[in-house]
C-alpha cells in the first residue's frame, strides 16, 4: 500500500522547481492535490527531531563520563568514553549474556509465531471446519484481555513446572499470538485464490503439501512483516520477562531494569547499556523500516 | 489452544483471587472468599493507584492522539521525503519501555537533567520531576506520548488513505476550505479508526507498568506512591509482597475497568453516529 503512494509522491515533488509538468499530470484530483507548505515541513521536522533526540542523547551520554554529564551547561556532543562504558556494562550487568538470551528468546518466538500463525491463519482463511467463526471470534477476543490476567495462572504454571528463571518460561507462551493469527488470516484471504487450492486438491495434494508448496510461497511477504513486528515486540517485551526471569538469567530488558534499579549509579554506564539493548532493534528498523511502516498501516486498516 | 490462552486465565485468575496464595508456595491455597477484594478496597494505595492510572491515562492518551491526528494530516500531504518522514516518526516505537524510560528518566533529572536546563534557559525554575505529583505524572506520560504518537499517526494515515477521493473533490467543488475539509470529510471518515485508537490506547493506559517502574526504579511508584499505577501496584503486591491472590484480585479489577471503559467508548461512538444519522 505504501510503495505505490511513495512513487506517486516523487514525481510531482521533483517537478516543484519547474511548474510546467505538474499541469500535464493527467486528470486533476481537485480536492487531493495538497502539497505541503513550509509550515507543514517545519512542523514535521520538529516532530522528527523530537522523535530522534532521545536516541541522539543516548549516544552522547553513553560516550561521556559521569562527571561530564553533571556539568552545567550540559555537553551536547559525543565524547570519547563509549568503549570504556560498554566494557563497564558488560562487566557490571552481564549485558553480554542478556543480549544472547534476548536473541535466543526473540528468535525462537519469531520463528514459532510466524509458523504457527501462518498455519492457523491458513486454516481460518481457507479450510472449512466446524465452529470456524466462533473460534476466530474467540481468538480475536483474547486480544482484548490484559496480559496481567494471564500472568498469574501462567506464573503458577511455570512455578509448578519449575521453570521460573528459565528461558522456556518466556519462549513458550510467546509462540502463538492472536494478532498474528488474525493478521495472517486477513493476508491469505486477500492473496490466496481458492482456485489454486482446488486445483491442487484435484491433483491429489494433501493439505500439508498444499501448505508447504502453495500457501507458504504466497504468504512469504506477509510472514516477513509479521516476523519483523514479532521480533521487535519480543525483543522489547518487558512485563512477563520481569516477572518470570531474574538477574541470573536476564533478557536485555530485565538487565536494563537492573541497571536503572540502582545497582549501577553511573549514568553514562546506564546509557551505554540502553544503547546496547536498543541497537539490534534499531538496526532491524533501519534496514526494514519501510516494511514495518507498511505492516502497521496494513494491520491498522483491518483492525 | 486459544481457549487455553484466552478464557482459561480469565477464569483461573478469578478463582485465584478468592484464595490466599503466596508466591513462595503457589500450591497451597486457602479459601478467603471476597477477602482479597475487601482488603483491596480498604487499602489507600489501591485507590491512589486507581486515581493515578486514570490521571496518567488522560495525560498521556489525549495529547498523544491529538498530536497523532495532526501529524497524520501533515504526512498525508504530497511532499519530498515522505517515506523517510513516516519512518522517522515511527522510530520511537522501535525502542523498549525500559530503554525509553531510562533515557527520559535522565533527561528529567532534577539537578543535571537536560529538560530542567532547557527550562532554566527560558527562566523557569527547576522542576522536581521525580517527586512532584503532577510533575512525575507528566514525566511518565511524556514517555508514553513519545513512544506511541508516531505509531498512532500511521494508523490514522492508513485510515485517511481509505477515504474516497470523490468526497474531497465534492467538498472542494462546494468551496470548502482545507480546514473545513479536514473537519467535515477527514474526521467523520476517520471515526472508526479514531475509536479503534482510543480503545487501544485506553487499554494500554490501564496496564501501564514499565514506565512508572523504571522512572526511578522503585516498585512503589515514587516515595509517596505519587505515580504508582494499577499495573505497578499489582506487581508490588504479587512479586514484591508475595500476595498472588491479592494480585489476582487487582488483575480482575483492571479487567473490569477495561471492559467498562471500552463499553463507555463504544456507547459514546454509537450515540454520536446515531445523532449524525438523524441529522
Which whole number is the average pLDDT over A133-156? Answer: 77
Q: In the predicted model, is pLDDT for residue A38 greater than 90?
A: no
Three-state SS across A211-269? HHHHHHHHHHHHHHHHHHHHHHHHHHCCHHHHHHCCCCCCCHHHHHHHHHHHHCCCHHH
- Residue A91 confidence class, pLDDT cut points 50, 70, 90: confident
What lies within 8 Å, CB to CB, of B183 at 6+ separation is none
Contacts of A281 in chain B (CB under 8 A): 94-96
The pLDDT of residue A259:
79
> Taking the model in full, what pTM does it have?
0.83
pLDDT digits 0-9 by tens, B81-90: 888 888 888 8
Q: Can you tell me the mean pLDDT for A161-165?
A: 82
pLDDT score of B7: 64
Q: How far apart are the first and last CA of chain A?
A: 16
Q: Which residue of A has its CA nearest to B89?
A: A48
- Backbone φ and ψ for B25, nearest 5 degrees, come out as -130, 70
**Bridge partners for A35 per DSSP:** B78
The owner of cell 522510530 is B91
Count Cβ–Cβ pairs < 8 Å, chain A vs chain B: 281
CA distance A19 to chain B (A): 15
- A178 alpha-carbon distance from chain centroid: 15
What interface predicted TM-score (ipTM) does this complex get? 0.83
Q: Of A143-152, A196-205, B92-101, which range is least confident?
A: A143-152
- Could you say which residues of chain B have pLDDT below 70? 1-9, 19, 23-30, 32-33, 35, 276-279
Question: Model confidence over B207-252: pLDDT tens digits?
Answer: 888 888 888 777 777 777 888 888 888 888 878 878 888 888 888 8
* Distance (Å, whole) CA A109 – CA A96: 20
pLDDT band for position A12 (cuts 50, 70, 90): very low
Q: Which of residues 50-89 of B touch A (CB under 8 A)?
A: 70-71, 74-80, 82-83, 85-89
Amino acid at each position: 500500500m505504501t510503495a505505490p503512494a511513495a512513487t506517486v509522491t516523487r514525481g510531482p515533488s521533483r517537478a516543484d522547481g519547474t511548474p510546467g509538468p505538474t499541469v500535464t499530470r493527467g486528470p486533476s484530483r481537485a480536492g487531493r492535490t495538497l502539497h505541503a507548505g513550509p509550515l507543514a515541513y517545519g512542523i514535521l521536522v520538529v516532530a522528527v527531531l523530537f522523535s530522534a533526540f532521545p536516541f541522539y542523547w543516548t549516544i552522547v551520554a553513553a560516550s561521556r563520563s559521569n562527571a561530564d554529564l553533571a556539568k552545567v551547561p550540559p555537553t551536547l556532543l559525543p565524547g570519547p568514553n563509549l568503549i570504556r562504558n560498554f566494557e563497564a556494562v558488560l562487566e557490571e550487568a552481564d549485558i553480554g549474556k542478556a543480549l544472547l538470551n534476548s536473541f535466543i528468546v526473540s528468535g525462537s518466538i519469531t520463528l514459532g509465531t510466524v509458523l504457527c500463525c501462518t498455519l492457523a491463519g491458513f486454516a481460518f482463511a481457507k479450510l472449512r471446519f466446524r465452529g470456524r467463526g466462533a473460534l476466530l471470534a474467540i481468538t480475536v477476543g483474547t486480544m482484548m484481555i490484559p496480559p496481567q490476567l494471564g500472568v498469574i495462572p501462567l506464573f503458577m504454571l511455570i512455578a509448578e513446572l519449575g521453570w521460573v528463571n528459565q528461558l522456556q518460561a518466556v519462549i513458550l507462551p510467546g509462540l502463538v499470538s492472536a494478532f498474528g493469527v488474525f493478521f495472517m488470516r486477513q493476508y491469505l484471504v486477500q492473496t490466496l485464490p481458492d482456485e489454486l487450492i482446488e486445483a491442487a486438491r484435484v491433483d491429489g495434494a494433501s493439505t500439508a503439501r498444499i501448505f508447504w508448496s502453495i500457501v507458504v510461497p504466497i504468504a512469504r511477504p506477509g510472514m516477513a512483516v509479521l516476523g519483523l513486528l514479532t521480533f521487535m515486540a519480543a525483543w522489547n517485551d518487558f512485563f512477563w520477562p520481569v516477572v518470570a526471569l531474574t538477574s541470573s538469567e536476564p533478557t536485555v530488558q530485565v538487565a536494563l531494569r537492573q541497571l536503572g534499579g540502582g545497582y549501577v549509579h553511573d549514568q553514562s554506564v546506564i546509557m551505554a547499556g540502553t544503547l546496547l539493548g536498543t541497537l539490534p532493534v534499531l538496526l532491524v528498523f533501519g534496514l526494514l523500516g519501510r516494511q514495518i511502516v507498511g505492516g502497521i498501516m496494513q494491520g491498522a486498516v483491518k483492525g | 489452544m486459544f481457549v487455553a490462552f484466552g478464557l482459561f486465565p480469565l477464569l483461573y485468575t478469578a478463582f485465584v483471587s478468592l484464595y490466599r496464595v503466596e508466591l513462595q508456595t503457589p500450591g497451597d491455597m486457602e479459601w478467603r472468599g471476597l477477602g482479597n477484594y475487601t482488603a483491596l478496597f480498604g487499602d489507600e494505595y489501591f485507590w491512589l493507584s486507581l486515581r493515578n492510572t486514570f490521571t496518567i491515562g488522560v495525560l498521556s492518551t489525549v495529547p498523544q492522539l491529538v498530536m497523532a491526528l495532526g501529524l497524520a494530516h501533515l504526512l498525508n500531504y504530497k511532499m519530498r521525503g515522505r517515506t523517510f518522514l513516516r519512518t522517522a516518526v515511527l522510530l520511537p516505537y522501535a525502542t523498549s519501555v525500559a530503554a525509553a524510560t531510562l533515557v527520559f528518566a535522565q533527561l528529567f533529572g532534577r539537578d543535571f537533567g537536560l529538560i530542567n536546563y532547557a527550562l532554566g534557559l527560558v527562566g523557569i525554575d527547576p522542576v522536581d520531576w521525580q517527586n512532584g505529583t503532577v510533575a512525575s505524572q507528566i514525566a511518565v506520560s511524556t514517555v508514553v506520548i513519545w513512544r506511541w504518537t508516531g505509531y498512532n499517526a500511521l494508523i490514522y494515515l492508513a485510515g485517511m488513505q481509505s477515504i474516497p477521493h470523490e468526497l474531497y473533490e465534492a467538498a472542494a467543488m462546494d468551496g470548502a476550505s482545507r480546514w473545513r475539509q479536514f473537519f467535515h470529510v477527514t474526521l467523520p471518515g476517520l471515526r472508526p479508526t479514531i475509536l479503534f485508537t482510543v480503545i487501544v490506547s485506553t487499554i494500554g493506559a490501564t496496564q501501564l507498568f514499565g514506565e512508572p517502574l523504571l522512572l526511578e526504579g522503585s516498585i512503589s511508584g515514587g516515595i509517596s506512591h505519587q505515580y504508582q499505577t494499577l499495573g505497578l501496584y499489582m506487581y508490588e503486591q504479587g512479586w514484591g509482597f508475595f500476595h498472588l491472590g491479592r494480585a489476582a484480585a487487582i488483575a480482575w479489577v483492571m479487567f473490569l475497568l477495561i471492559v467498562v471503559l471500552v463499553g463507555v467508548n463504544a456507547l459514546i461512538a454509537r450515540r454520536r453516529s446515531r445523532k449524525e444519522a438523524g441529522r
